[in-house]
Amino acid sequence: MPTLMCLFAIVHGRVHGVFFRDFTYTQATALGLTGYVRNLANCTVEAVAEGPSDALERLLEQIRVGPPAAQVEKVDFQWQDPSGQFDRFEVRYR
């Protein structure tokens, strides 16, 4: 049985206005993850995803690259225990 985890990530770089949220949503839903992605006021992107650890590792690899127009400088991330509060992955606007 896979280990369930939560990935909390803050993505730095040119990540606003380059479809980063849509990219993350597409990747996370394809991996069967739950959680959310949103832009933050300081021009970073926050992603919180829950699911099997191997799928979360793949999502982390993908957001380290991002969509073609993005320029990811760094990703700060933490592994946490899953909360189980999400039933799907979504783009948040606040």
Domains of the chain as residue ranges with CATH:
4-92 (3.30.70.100)
Q: Is the pLDDT of residue 56 over 70?
A: yes
- The CA distance from 84 to 73, in Å, is 30
**Per-residue pLDDT band at 94 (split at 50, 70, 90):** confident
Catalytic positions are 21, 39
Q: In this model, does residue 1 exceed pLDDT 90?
A: no
- Amino acid letter, residue 79: W
Residues 6 or more apart in contact with residue 1 via CB below 8 angstroms:
none
Does 37 have pLDDT greater than 70?
A: yes
Per-residue confidence at 77, pLDDT binned at 50, 70, 90? very high
pLDDT at 73 exceeding the cut of 80: yes
Predicted pLDDT of residue 36 = 98
